[in-house]
Amino acid sequence: MKYILSIIATIIIGISSMAFSLPPSDELPEPVYPSTEGYDDPTTTTTTTIPAPKPVIIMTPCEKVRELARIIGWPKKELDTLVKIANRESRCMPKAHNTTRNVDGSQDYGLMQINDWSWCKPSKYYAKGYLQQLGIIKTCDDLFNPILNLTAAYALYEYSDNTWEQWNP
């Protein structure tokens, strides 16, 4: 403790001796200030503009299907029918999976409930499966991805000469 007090005392004495060793103020040079020529005082404003907050848009699952289909490139005139079918088939849920309702034992996948035996399983016409042959999917499970499902549905729509034959709306 004595050691710390002696260090503090030495510092105080050093500082005070520096203050007393300065030359008298009449010997100090005049301070130099920067020029204020051409300087204008800034005008003060009291208004502040705060940007309006962006509205939060909450979309229903079917509204999301419509927007995604639009982005993918579905024709605008077909979006209403597409959403009606997606709502009927899957309630617009991308993970919808029908494993029990088809008499032939086939399964339906995703938003548009695309049938595996017809479109993504190997057949005598398409060794890999129709949608795999087109390069849209690799396996039927890829149809749980809403982008791939709607892309596949568009391919089936075009396959049917731009009709809804595959879904019987």
State if pTM tops 0.85: no
The span from the CA of 163 to the CA of 169, in Å, is 10
Average pLDDT over every residue of 66-71: 96
- Check if 89 is active-site: yes
The span from the CA of 74 to the CA of 1, in Å, is 83
The span from the CA of 11 to the CA of 18, in Å, is 11
Helix or strand or coil: residue 38? coil
Mean pLDDT rounded to a whole number for the chain? 83
The span from the CA of 139 to the CA of 137, in Å, is 6
pLDDT of 89: 94
| Catalytic residue of the set 37, 67, 89, 116 | 89
Up-side HSE of residue 152: CA atoms within 13 Å toward CB?
A: 32
| Catalytic residue of the set 30, 63, 67, 108 | 108
The span from the CA of 6 to the CA of 146, in Å, is 77
